[in-house]
Amino acid sequence: MVMETEYNMDFKMILEEFGYNSDEINTQLKNNKIVWEIIVNIRNNMMDEIGNAIRINLQLCYLLEVEEQIKEINSPLFKLNYIFEQNFYCLDNDTAKALSIFYKLLNNTYASMSYFIDEIRDIKENLYFIRKNHDRVLFERYNYLRKISLPLRGYEELRFSLLTLIKKFDNIATLIKNPEAYNSLMKEYNIFLTKYKELYIAEHEKYHNKLKEFYRKLYSLPEYKVLDYLSCISIIKVAYNLKPIRKYIETFFPDPCKVNNLDELLEKQTRCKCGFYPGQNLSIPSLNKIKPMLKKGIIEYMEKLHNQRFKNFFNNYLNYKPASLLKEVLEIPPVNIINNLDLINKDLIAEINEAMSNTFPLQISFNEISHYLSGSYSANELELLLKDLENIIRKIIRDKIEDMVDINYDEIVINLIK
């Protein structure tokens, strides 16, 4: 049965909108069954995509904080979804009757066929927008811009460009319907991103060059080098070693940044991994404020070396190496070592460690033992006395080596003295 003539122009417009060329349509319109099959296939192919588009549009509007545009964006989708949700889309139906119902439904839902075509075009743009993941791109770009932090002063031009660009993300409806508007926004975004990256990279480099220069001067201080050497003494520990001093420095000064792909990194995040932000200043204090801590640590080490506990260590070592530099260093009072820092080097530390690596003679007096020992013991239970003596001597040993590290008990030789 040939379709009614009054329907021909309208159905021709519909089929053309869905990609069928005019010559094929003129042939197809002569057969109701073919036209109905096309309508059903279009409906079946679009149903899931329309539902997905409604959900994505809703999510995008919430993410970009423009919920008031949800109705405008989703209204065409809801209307078409209503048309497609009717229950007469069956190929076995009377095709002439089905086409008539479909046609009336369109006219009752839309003001005119041309209005229906306009909304179909908007829907097609919306579906294309989603297929290309433009919704995800928009949110990522918007989220990126919102994370940029610029100082109020000195960055007025870039800050104005940033706020203007963010504002353009508000008109989601236009960006979805109009590919040119979307492409134009992406072009503006790329121009802004280039300017932001250029500014960020320049300031980042300046900041970290200043930081590197600070560390270069710090590490070149004689006091720092000497304390670094002394920190390598294996069995001595002091409060002002390099570890707490470095921690103090790192509290105020971050490590110099080692990122070498900053331009690429800034494509995805607004800041470098080091946390630098535009406008961040670095106030470098005088190294004279750090020197006293370094000197205190050096003197602490020297006081430990002059401790009576290590005297036998060094005497044994100097007996067979009397010309060692260690002898000269030990003759210098700890407070005066700061004036002789040139004497402390890697070779001296190696000698100190060598001297301390020999058997460790530990003197324990009977007075020290008797200080802890008291009470009465049965002659038949002398093992209790022996156990208490063992615990007392172990305690005395622990007290004597509490400020040393890496001491092996197998290396300790106890010398009992009166």
The answer for 276, left when phi > 0, alpha when psi is -120 to 50, beta otherwise, is beta
Q: How much is the pLDDT for 7?
A: 67
Q: How far apart are CA 164 and CA 90, in angstroms?
A: 52
Contact in structure between 311 and 356 (CB atoms under 8 Å)? no
The answer to whether 335 and 299 have CB atoms below 8 angstroms apart is: yes
Please give the residue that has the higher pLDDT: either 365 or 254.
Answer: 254
pLDDT of 39 above 60: yes
Reported as a pLDDT band with limits 50, 70 and 90, residue 190 is very high
User: Cβ-count burial of 265 within 10 angstroms (0-12 exposed, 13-18 middle, 19+ buried)?
Assistant: middle
Which string of b and e fits 220-259 if b means at least 16 CB within 10 Å?
A: ebebbbbbbbbbebebbbbebbbeebeeebeeebeebbee
Give the burial string for 361-375 (b: 16+ CB within 10 Å, else e). Answer: bbebeeebeeeeeee
User: What does the mean pLDDT of the chain come to?
Assistant: 84
pLDDT at 282 over 90: no
Mean pLDDT of 144-168: 93
How confident is the model at residue 125, as a pLDDT?
A: 94
For the chain, counts of helices (H) and of strands (E): 19, 2
What confidence tier does 58 reach under pLDDT thresholds 50, 70, 90?
A: very high
Contact 227, 294 (CB under 8 A): yes
- Mean pLDDT for the stretch of residues 299-310: 86
Query: pLDDT for 105-116, tens place per residue?
Result: 998 999 888 899
Q: What pTM value is reported for the model?
A: 0.70
The amino acid present at 240, given as its one-letter code, is Y
**pLDDT > 70: percent of the chain:** 85
